[in-house]
Chain A
Amino acid sequence: MTTKRIIPCLDVKWGRVVKGVKFLNLRDEGDPAELASRYEEEGADELVFLDVTATVEGRGTLLESVKSAASVVSIPLTVGGGVRSVQDASSLFSAGADKVSLNTAAVENPNLVTQIAREFGSQAVVVAIDAKRSSSGWKVHVKSGSVATELDVVWWGTKVVQLGAGEILLTSIDRDGTREGYDVELTRAVTSSVNVPVIASGGAGKPEHILQVLTEGGADAALAAGMFHDGVTTVSAVKRFLLSYGVEVRP
């Protein structure tokens, strides 16, 4: 069995790492390449780089930040934010991204998932799903969480796999930045419906939350941002904790 992965997420805005609460009130957390390098040393299994404002402000992703991070780390790098075409994806791969993450564009143009998968392989295509609870299950939100759609999250998860996504990055908007723990129920609903790896995101505040989402939630990987940026805990401490509970991780 493959080891569970711990993935720090760098939300990038104007070339700096930022962190907000429920996608709002962004604070400065540092230089992307510096943080990327620190996390690799701590034992991060992968890194996710999200240009959090790219869609809203209509900007392209920050290729320079990607390049400088990719040149200092030797673990996989997923980049998302503002990817709207095969050409956008191609530029990111050329800059050193191993996978691209599609969110709004996948909803607006599902065929894009297929096109990128066909050219670069499914393993290079992550579909990010931002989920928010409603009276009738979880609904997909787009444009950095600001716009609700009618799409049911579990249905959309199975759909994107058919389209060619090799991985799902599932974020609970309700939990994002709260440090109250992942939405385990949401994660379980998706992991039990798809046969590709799922990265759980949104709400990590302590190692126990990560243990819970990897075991009860069935997630293959746990993503966290603020908890690591602020030094509440470290990747290596989380891994020691998981190992003590018998969860296999790369030591």
Chain B
Amino acid sequence: MRALVVNYGVGNLFSISSALRRKGLEVDIGTELTNSYDLLVFPGVGAFSAVSKFLNSRRDQLNELKESGSRFFGVCLGMQVMFQSGSEGGRSEGLGWLKGVVDKLVNSPKLPHIGWDRLIETKPSILIEGLEGKYFYFVHSYAAYDVDNDYVRGFSVYGVKFPAVVEKDSLVGTQFHPEKSGASGSLFLDNLMRWLKR
């Protein structure tokens, strides 16, 4: 199976690509968005405004791919851009695939939120089987608010409770970085592979 890690032009794409390759995916890094991939990955690097600008310029193409059944996996910021809008670096539009807005974490002792926290309140899904209570690595200052709880598969807490895993039809997103979450991240990616083959 083949995956494309979408290259917005900034940041570490090496780690997510290596992690997906370890799970048996053939991985390209690039900007050629086509339906020849089994999975399109939005990596968790960069700033919201820059990344949403990049993706919005390819909006029609992305919507078309989504309509035709392409699967998408967004990590951290890569998940955040699937929501309606974000406030990092000025208010900017997201892809609007998921209901919710991305805003600064409130009631937080320190920002960015950097470190390992538990996945809690998980709902049955192939994606998070066996992962309730496990620790994942987070590094972010923003999170999704006003979301539709129907597609949240697990939360985490840092000052506030925020969605850590979302799943809606052909879309999956994680606020944590599975590629940086050691053994539990590896388990999540195993689950992602099962979801992909389903």
Give A residues with C-beta under 8 Å from B. 1-5, 40, 45, 67, 70-71, 74-76, 90, 93-98, 118-124, 166-167, 195-197, 220-221, 250
Q: Which residue of A lies closest to B48 (CB)?
A: A121
Query: Any chain A CB within 8 A of the CB of B117?
Result: yes
Q: List 20 A-B contacts (CB under 8 A).
A: A1-B158, A2-B113, A2-B115, A74-B179, A74-B185, A75-B181, A75-B182, A76-B137, A93-B12, A95-B14, A96-B18, A97-B12, A118-B47, A119-B46, A121-B45, A121-B47, A121-B77, A122-B112, A124-B11, A195-B111
Contacting residues, chain A, for B11 (C-beta < 8 A): 93, 120, 124
The answer on a CB contact under 8 Å between B180 and A197 is no
Residue ID in chain A nearest B186 by CB atoms? A74
Residue of A nearest to B14 (CB): A96
CA A166 to CA B117, docked complex, whole Å: 18
For A40, the chain B residues whose CB sits under 8 A away are 182
- Measured CB to CB, the nearest residue on chain A to B181 is A74
If A5-B116, A40-B182 touch, whether A70 touches B14 (CB-CB below 8 Å) is yes
- Chain A nearest CB, measured from B110 CB (Å): 5
When the two chains form the complex, which single residue of A74, A121, A166 contacts B46, counting CB atoms closer than 8 Å? A121
Quick one: closest B residue to A3, CB to CB? Answer: B116
Given A67-B14, A74-B182, A121-B47, 4 extra CB contacts under 8 A:
A2-B117, A74-B179, A120-B45, A195-B109
Query: Which residues from chain B contact A74 at a C-beta distance below 8 Å?
Result: 15, 19, 179-182, 185-186
Whole-angstrom distance between the alpha carbons of A221 and B137 in the complex?
Answer: 14
B135 at the interface (CB under 8 A from A): yes
Interchain nearest-CB distance for A237 vs B (Å): 18
Determine the interface band of chain B, counting residues with CB < 8 A from chain A. 35 or more
In the bound complex, residues from chain A placing their C-beta under 8 Å from that of B139 are: 76, 98, 123
The 4 A-B pairs with the shortest beta carbon distances in the complex, nearest first, are A2-B115, A96-B14, A123-B112, A250-B116
Chain B, residue nearest A166 (CB): B112
A67 to B111 Cα, complex, angstroms: 28
CB of A2, distance to nearest CB on chain B (Å): 4
* Cβ-neighbour of B10 out of A3, A4, A93 (below 8 A): A93
Q: What 1/0 mask marks residues of chain B from 119 to 161 whose CB sits below 8 Å from any chain A CB?
A: 0000000000000000101111100000000000000001000
Known contacts A2-B116, A76-B137, A122-B141; is A98 also within 8 Å of B15 by CB? yes
Q: How far is the CA of A93 from the CA of B17 in the complex (A)?
A: 13
Chain B residues with CB under 8 A of A220: 110, 114-115
Collect the chain A residues with CB atoms within 8 Å of residue B110's CB: 195-197, 220
CA distance A67 to B14 in the complex (A): 9
For residue A77, which residue of chain B has the nearest CB? B15
Please determine whether A119 and B10 come into contact, CB atoms closer than 8 angstroms: yes
1/0 contact string of B13-32 vs chain A (CB within 8 Å): 11100110000000000000
> Which residues of the other chain, B, contact A119 by a CB distance below 8 angstroms?
10, 46-47, 50
A167 to B115, CA, bound (A): 12
B114 and A197 form a contact (CB under 8 A)? yes
State which residues 82-124 of B face A: CB under 8 Å. Answer: 109-117
Q: Are B115 and A94 in contact (CB under 8 A)?
A: no
A contact residues around B45 at 8 Å (CB)? 93, 120-121, 124
Contact A98 B47 (CB under 8 A): no
**Residues 58 to 95 of chain B near chain A (Cβ within 8 Å):** 77
In whole angstroms, what is the CA distance A250 to B183 when docked? 12
Q: A67: nearest residue on chain B (CB-CB)?
A: B14
Give the complex CA separation of A5 and B135 in angstroms: 12
- Across the interface, A70 reaches (CB within 8 A) one of B10, B18, B46, B140, namely B18
Q: Give bound CA distance, A97 to B139, whole Å.
A: 14
Q: How far does the Cβ of B73 sit from chain A's closest Cβ, in whole Å?
A: 16
Most buried by A among B12, B45, B77, B113: B12
* Contact A1 B116, beta carbon cutoff 8 Å: no
The answer to whether A94 and B116 touch (CB under 8 A), given A75-B182, A121-B46, is no
